[in-house]
Structure 1
Amino acid sequence: MRTIAIILASGTGVRFRSETPKQFLKLAGKTVLEHTLDAFERHPGIDEVVVVVSADTRLLTEEIIGNGGYGKVSKVVTGGATRQASSAAGIGAVAGDDHKVLVHDAVRPLLDHPTIDRCLAALDAHDAVDTGIPSPDTIIRIGGDDCIEAIPDRATLRLGQTPQGFRAGLLRHAHALASQDPALKVTDDCGLILHYGLGSVHVVPGDTNNIKITYPSDIYLADRLFQLRTRPAGADGLSALRGKVLVVFGASRGIGHRIASLARESGGEVVAASRKDGVSVADAGSVRDLLRKTLDVHGRIDLVANTAGVLRTGLLAGRNYAEIDEQIDTNFRGSVVVAREAFDAMRDTGGSIALFTSSSYTRGRARSAVYSATKAAVVNLTQGLAQEYQPFGVRINAINPERTATPMRTENFGSEPAQELLDVDSVARATLAALLSDATGEVIDVRR
């Protein structure tokens, strides 16, 4: 028994009113389809992916799959003129009736792993599963005269999403019946199960961010959701650091110092530097020289972390431009320099880069407006470079710790209760785990 995802990507986007089908529009540095493929490619519970496309977009889809290295995609099949026909083509490409099958719209690119987990778990006890979220609005049913006929109880209503899950044989049987019923009108595969009385459909919670891109305004909303999207820090062991070559910038104190010491304790080869050593992250020459010396000594660089940062609190009107420039140069230009120079050092061998953002990146904060702006810029930089670096096997992520007990924080906010702050060890461990993970283009949350 295998777990197979069928991605329906054959739509033409009539309602979107675009010459380019919406699944091929760019969103947060990738096509919508690529984001959807990523969700299943990276999920450990998915064994295989079948992509259903139109005849006109088959070559483009195959090119995207090839360039993106989507190893789980086993088949690209041509769909039909309707969603029902495309779903039938997808299940027709699945051999065997006992597999778990998830059917998902390609234009829902914000699908998260917990939703996939809930669907797969429910298929252990049910043959058909739908995902749904509570309706935030009152639903009204109107008649032909545009007058309200009924107002259903909102507590019993859900807004249906995908993926929908099935045992392969059940979905195959439903489509076989539908193929003999040309007058049938249903909007999804669960509707087929209910229409033919083939069983009950269990509903699991969906996710409010799992929006479907239907209208032009949806692409802008999705782009913003991607910008704000985070993943929790991993808790993987650090044994994989043994023998890895790690360069840490901003390593004289705080988080950077602990990253370096923890990596050494775990068997890594560590090169640590800071302004005290004459290495400013805003100075491309000094960063390049350090990386070249590391290559000369160790032969390669596997991991790079940039923890260097400057925070100067206070009203903007009260800051001088030297203090403003210091924050911009260190926090943003420094991230650009480290990312660029690290990529040059890794482009032939692959590797992983960690930059640092802050919880203030989502909304500027009074008395630290410049700092907040630089940290928002780091997120956008990370997301853009992830796409640029992907063909070379270089990963890049932004670490987003909540308030942490560092010397920089104490200098700006004074003494605070220890129980209200993260400790640097937790952030260092999360950073190293992120560097070792397969994530790229992600904002990695670190929370107490």
Structure 2
Amino acid sequence: MKIGENMHVTAIILAGGVGKRFGLDVPKQFVKLAGKPIISHTIDIFEKNSMIKEIIIVVNKEYYNYLNNLVKSGHDSNKIKIVVGGDTRQESSFNGLLACSKSTTHVLIHDAVRPFIDQEIIYECILKLEEYDAIDVCIDSSDTLVEINENNEIIKIPNRTSIKRGQTPQAFKFDVIFNAHKICQSKGIQNSTDDCNLVLQSNLCKIHVINGSNHNIKITNPIDISIAEKIFQIREKKSQLLSYDDLLHKLNNKVIVVVGGSSGIGKSICEIGNKLGSVTIPLSRSNGFDVRNPETIKFHLSKIYKKYERIDAVVICAAILHRNKFENFTDDEIRELIEINLTGNAYVAKYSIPYLKKTNGKLVFFASSSYYKGRGEYSTYSATKAGIVNLMQSLSEELEDKVSVLAINPQRTKTPLRTRNFGDEDIDTLLSADFVALSTLNSIAKEGNNGCIIDIRLSDEKKGSLKYNE
């Protein structure tokens, strides 16, 4: 039996706040983040989860029409129902429960201003609902918490090891949370800021806790917008390798174009990809391909498509590195870095997209840890990698549901490019090109990573759990 097969799960998104602490003309859930309202990012996550059958959004009556237009223009309005909230969070939550369809068996209640909730957490909530009647999502507290009295004096400092910080979603069997609300209303409890607290006060069942995420922040104050923008920029997803058999199945006969495929990571992608049954085609200056020349890009992609009648993935590994103090760079070195690492990558992406749309394919860039913090003597290189990540993120929004766009972000890797710039280094401190290639092919095979930065760490390779270059 599949997880949640006998469940009808409804997500209730609470968006009834008016944002008094935010100090803006619109409530915080409608403030734009990475190009669209915060609440749209949150809705997207639940819309994309196949286990969520319906979505109820609870909103302040003054913004009902605004939200209704937002949903109609950018979301699946057939799956979403909007209802007016109450004067308190507790009332709004109850209104959301009242709006659920009669077939609802379980609910997830989530804050609209937590746009970074992971699909993995949602799935785990639903999985645990097969064992428990109530689920809370929490993270460890890195700060010491204190309890004070009305005179602002500390009266208690709880042991931090037993204290966690609550997040959302909170998940419940529908009857449990509905009855908890009714019991608490009868007790005169009217302003609870937490649904699990209502279950606790009602003594209806035990509440199981699962681990949340430090990225799953609640946007409450203006400074949180800046933090959220940074999370969008640096959000990474660790590469979790599929089994050898799964890779063979998913990559068999896939046509993968590897730009920069004659050496380093690109060469390893081609070699291992071929062993896994894919058709990997290296493009580089050695076979007349130049990322700086749009005409050669169009020529080679057209030639490949005519021969194989499909392109399933394009991996862009092409990059160069010059190290120097910025004032000592020659004009030609600066120009070459930008033309190959950024402009050339953009050209390849542009002319690959029409082919990838036909196969719902993958467009894979390569980032670097220097994309989120520029380093001395890497100035132009760092700037190009920051540009690559922003290009990837923009394209992932533009091409959503048509092409999956992602970036591979490996730690220091043993490649000819690195050796030329740093000389011989302790091999135990470097990733192997083969492992990075495996992780890249794994990302091509997996679903659900559009817009992600796939983080590849040395510690992952050291575990030695999987090796496919047999």
TM-score over 0.5 for the alignment? Answer: yes
SS of structure 2 residue aligned to 1:297: helix
> Hey, what does 1:407 align to over in structure 2?
416
Q: Does 2:11 correspond to 1:13?
A: no
SS of structure 2 residue aligned to 1:379: helix
Distance 1:310 1:149, change over 3 A: closer
The answer to whether the 8 A contact 1:79-1:85 is kept is: no
Distance 1:415 1:213, change over 3 A: same
Alignment of 1:4-153 (within 5 A): 4-15=9-20, 16-40=22-46, 46-54=51-59, 55-56=64-65, 57-66=67-76, 74-81=79-86, 82-92=88-98, 93-95=100-102, 99-116=105-122, 119-120=125-126, 122-144=128-150, 146-148=151-153, 150-153=155-158
> Hey, what does 1:444 align to over in structure 2?
454
> Hey, what does 2:179 align to over in structure 1?
173
Point out the more displaced range, 131-140 or 161-170: 131-140
Deviation of 1:309 after TM superposition, in Å, equals: 0.7
The answer to whether the 8 A contact 2:342-2:385 is kept is: yes
> Hey, what does 2:193 align to over in structure 1?
187
Alignment of 1:319-330 (within 5 A): 319-330=329-340
Mapped to 1, the partners of 2:205 and 2:76 lie a distance apart of 39
- Partner residue of 1:390 out of 386, 390, 400: 400
Mapped to 2, the partners of 1:425 and 1:232 lie a distance apart of 17
Deviation of 1:49 after TM superposition, in Å, equals: 4.3
CA distances 1:378-416 after superposition (whole Å, capped 9, x unpaired): 11111111111115x111101101111111111111122
Deviation of 1:357 after TM superposition, in Å, equals: 0.5
> Hey, what does 1:423 align to over in structure 2?
432
Q: Does 2:308 correspond to 1:294?
A: no
Point out the more displaced range, 51-60 or 132-141: 132-141
SS of structure 1 residue aligned to 2:431: coil
| Aligned-pair Cα RMSD in Å | 2.7
Q: TM-score, normalised by structure 1?
A: 0.88
Q: Give, as a single letter, the amino acid of the residue that structure 2 aligns with 1:423.
A: S
The answer to whether the 8 A contact 1:245-1:268 is kept is: yes
> Hey, what does 2:220 align to over in structure 1?
214
Mapped to 1, the partners of 2:167 and 2:46 lie a distance apart of 16
Mapped to 2, the partners of 1:402 and 1:182 lie a distance apart of 56
Q: Give, as a single letter, the amino acid of the residue that structure 2 aligns with 1:433.
A: N
Note the residue ranges of structure 1 that are not aligned, 5 or more in a row: 68-72
The answer to whether the 8 A contact 1:5-1:40 is kept is: no
Q: Matched residues, percent identical?
A: 36
Q: Give, as a single letter, the amino acid of the residue that structure 2 aligns with 1:4.
A: V
Point out the more displaced range, 406-415 or 122-131: 122-131
Deviation of 1:47 after TM superposition, in Å, equals: 4.4
The answer to whether the 8 A contact 2:260-2:318 is kept is: yes
Q: TM-score, normalised by structure 2?
A: 0.84
The answer to whether the 8 A contact 2:134-2:172 is kept is: yes
> Hey, what does 2:3 align to over in structure 1?
none
Distance 1:29 1:179, change over 3 A: same
Distance 1:243 1:203, change over 3 A: closer
Q: Give, as a single letter, the amino acid of the residue that structure 2 aligns with 1:245.
A: V
Mapped to 1, the partners of 2:16 and 2:23 lie a distance apart of 12
The answer to whether the 8 A contact 2:15-2:111 is kept is: no
The answer to whether the 8 A contact 1:6-1:91 is kept is: no
> Hey, what does 2:354 align to over in structure 1?
344
Mapped to 2, the partners of 1:378 and 1:61 lie a distance apart of 31
CA distances 1:52-104 after superposition (whole Å, capped 9, x unpaired): 2433223422432239xxxxx8442414224323322333415468x443221
Q: Does 2:323 correspond to 1:313?
A: yes
Point out the more displaced range, 86-95 or 208-217: 86-95
Mapped to 1, the partners of 2:32 and 2:285 lie a distance apart of 39
Distance 1:109 1:204, change over 3 A: same
Q: Does 2:259 correspond to 1:244?
A: no
Deviation of 1:374 after TM superposition, in Å, equals: 1.3
Q: Does 2:377 correspond to 1:377?
A: no
Mapped to 2, the partners of 1:13 and 1:342 lie a distance apart of 45
The answer to whether the 8 A contact 1:133-1:208 is kept is: yes
CA distances 1:160-213 after superposition (whole Å, capped 9, x unpaired): 211212222211211233455666221121121123332343444332221111
Equivalent residue pairs, number: 439
The answer to whether the 8 A contact 1:30-1:387 is kept is: no
Mapped to 1, the partners of 2:359 and 2:28 lie a distance apart of 35
Mapped to 1, the partners of 2:241 and 2:12 lie a distance apart of 30
SS of structure 2 residue aligned to 1:390: coil
- Partner residue of 2:268 out of 249, 255, 258: 258
Alignment of 1:351-362 (within 5 A): 351-362=361-372
Mapped to 2, the partners of 1:240 and 1:118 lie a distance apart of 25
Deviation of 1:227 after TM superposition, in Å, equals: 0.9
CA distances 1:112-136 after superposition (whole Å, capped 9, x unpaired): 3454455456545542232333444
Mapped to 2, the partners of 1:174 and 1:2 lie a distance apart of 20
The answer to whether the 8 A contact 2:314-2:362 is kept is: yes
Deviation of 1:358 after TM superposition, in Å, equals: 0.9
Mapped to 1, the partners of 2:268 and 2:130 lie a distance apart of 44
The answer to whether the 8 A contact 2:89-2:191 is kept is: no
Distance 1:339 1:51, change over 3 A: farther
The answer to whether the 8 A contact 2:136-2:196 is kept is: yes
